[in-house]
């Protein structure tokens, strides 16, 4: 008997030791590296059709000379001289559009492997991240310092990543969003906390405060009045204690998600609010893909998405699967059946009205939410904007010139002109004919580098391998559970 007990204990110890050894190896296993394309001093695109996202015209058979990361010259094909040793790209029967922007994302410590390659592979060259940190490094979420570091490495051609335009705070959601042990001013329970919060994020080189639903009304009002003095603005959700009209008048610069008007009492009220948004130059990022997911979670054709190969099994199991199950259950229940579809279709009707009034709409997807795939979902978002009744041109503007104007830098980004940054996508078909053509990416020019079709496939394969690797899933698991911010979000 004693021998059996001893044998069992030894086997148990060996098993535990083996598991600990495997996990330790996974945690310390080196992360994969991705090589950048060859750098050329000049890139020459020959005889391509340029889509003017401002006028809606297509300029046929143009030659473009790119020096470094800047468009040097544009002229009718045959008029420009090709510099010695330039990379020549044949643009015959192809179409050139500005790089696309996703204006609502959530990046994390694993975005280098799981997000960035897919953004570039899909022609998404600029993103506005809506996440941040609370005064200390986090094991999962990234903050302004990481994103600014990525931007610097992009310019030095040391990193494959989209540009991170405008730096966000962490979501400010009152006392419920702040873990124990963090400075109390992040909770904004007192209006005296506003200056402390703004001073902290100003020193962190943050451009805007991302507000959420449960921020106290008085703190929110003080935040909007004080933020410009610190060189910041306010973006995010509409706080529950504040009317949408008041939030617009107070100067919130952008509102997120498609549910923005679902609690308004009448169509006339919605029209009046949209007119006010237009007058006040207020932007709207509907993120229709989040509502589409909620409406479609019970449909196998939707949930059996081939892009799941780009998502780690840890994220699918711990984050996405419970979300799918909850929405599926509601969609199939007696009381919830069809409700999410009504929300989705109602939001699309509101977008149509907003577009007709002239409200500035920007494309955004809400990566890393359930069934939001970096890069791929932005093309779906543009298609959904088109299905709302927006023209293909307006949908394209939502991902190009509108974001460039929002950040106040349309002199360098958002359209294709001499002197602008050469972040551009070569397509096989004209997106003005059909917005779905944005997904037919032939090549991507970004920061002076050309990603050809072979390189684009390499980027996708890289993330496929990364998402399925054991060591990255183990690292992600520990990253999630070691993050106080994630634990609070999940508990909430």
pLDDT tens-digit profile of 140-166? 999 999 999 999 999 999 999 999 999
DSSP state of 31: P
C-alpha 148/C-alpha 252 separation (Å) is 24
CB 125 within 8 A of CB 101: yes
Q: Rg (Cα) of the chain, in Å, rounded? A: 24
Q: Phi-psi region for residue 435, left (φ > 0), alpha (ψ -120 to 50) or beta?
A: alpha
Phi and psi at residue 67, to the nearest 5°: -115, 120
Mean pLDDT for each 10-residue chunk of the chain (492 residues)?
A: 63 62 66 94 97 97 97 94 96 98 98 98 98 93 97 96 97 91 94 96 97 95 97 97 97 97 91 98 98 98 97 96 97 94 97 98 96 98 98 98 98 98 98 98 97 98 97 95 91 68
- Convert 179-195 to b/e letters by CB count within 10 Å (16 or more is b): eeebeebbbbbeeebbe
Phi and psi at residue 450, to the nearest 5°: -110, 120
pLDDT in the model for residue 186: 95
Kind and range of the H or E run holding 335: none
Kind and range of the H or E run holding 184: none
pLDDT tens-digit profile of 171-201? 999 988 899 999 999 999 999 999 999 999 9
Dihedral angle sign, alpha carbons of residues 94, 99, 102, 107: positive
pLDDT in the model for residue 13: 65
pLDDT in the model for residue 135: 85
């Amino acid at each position: 008997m004693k021998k059996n007990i001893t044998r069992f204990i030894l086997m148990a110890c060996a098993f535990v030791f083996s598991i600990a050894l495997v996990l330790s190896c996974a945690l310390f296993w080196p992360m994969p590296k991705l090589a950048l394309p060859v750098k050329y001093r000049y890139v020459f695109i020959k005889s391509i059709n340029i889509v003017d996202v401002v006028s809606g015209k297509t300029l046929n058979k143009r030659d473009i000379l790119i020096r470094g990361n800047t468009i040097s010259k544009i002229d009718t094909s045959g008029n420009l001289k090709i510099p010695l040793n330039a990379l020549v790209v044949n643009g015959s029967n192809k179409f050139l559009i500005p790089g696309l922007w996703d204006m609502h994302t959530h990046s994390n410590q694993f975005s280098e492997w799981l997000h960035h390659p897919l953004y570039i592979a899909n022609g998404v060259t600029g993103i506005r991240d809506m996440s941040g940190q609370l005064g200390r490094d986090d094991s999962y979420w990234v903050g302004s310092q990481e994103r600014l570091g990525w931007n610097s490495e992009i310019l030095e051609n040391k990193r494959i990543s989209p540009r991170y335009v405008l730096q966000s705070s962490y979501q400010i959601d009152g006392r419920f969003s702040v873990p124990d042990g963090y400075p109390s001013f992040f909770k904004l329970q007192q209006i005296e906390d506003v200056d402390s919060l703004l001073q902290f994020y100003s020193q962190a080189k943050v451009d805007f405060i991302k507000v959420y639903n449960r921020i106290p009304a008085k703190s929110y009002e003080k935040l909007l009045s004080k933020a410009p003095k610190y060189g910041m603005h306010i973006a995010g959700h509409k706080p529950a204690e504040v009317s949408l009209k008041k939030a617009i008048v107070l100067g919130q610069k952008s509102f997120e998600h498609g549910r923005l008007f679902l609690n308004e009492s009448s169509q006339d009220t919605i029209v009046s609010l949209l007119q006010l948004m237009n007058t006040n130059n207020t932007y709207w990022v509907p993120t229709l893909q989040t509502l589409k997911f909620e409406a479609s979670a019970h449909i196998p054709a939707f949930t059996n998405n081939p892009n799941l190969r780009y998502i780690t099994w840890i994220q699918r199991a711990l984050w996405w699967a419970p979300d799918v199950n909850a929405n599926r259950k509601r969609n199939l229940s007696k009381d919830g059946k069809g409700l999410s579809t009504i929300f989705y279709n109602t939001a699309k009707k509101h977008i149509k009205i907003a577009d007709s009034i002239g409200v500035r709409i920007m494309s955004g997807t809400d990566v890393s939410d359930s069934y939001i795939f970096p890069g791929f979902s932005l093309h779906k978002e543009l298609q959904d904007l088109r299905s709302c009744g927006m023209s293909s041109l307006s949908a394209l503007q939502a991902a190009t010139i509108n974001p460039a104007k929002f950040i106040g830098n349309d002199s360098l980004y958002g359209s294709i002109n001499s002197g602008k940054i050469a972040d551009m996508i070569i397509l096989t078909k004209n997106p003005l004919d059909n917005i779905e053509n944005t997904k037919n990416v032939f090549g991507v020019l970004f920061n002076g580098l050309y990603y050809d079709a072979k390189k684009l496939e390499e980027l996708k394969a890289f993330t496929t391998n990364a998402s399925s690797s054991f060591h990255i899933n183990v690292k992600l698991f520990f990253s999630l559970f070691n993050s106080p911010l994630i634990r609070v979000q999940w508990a909430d």
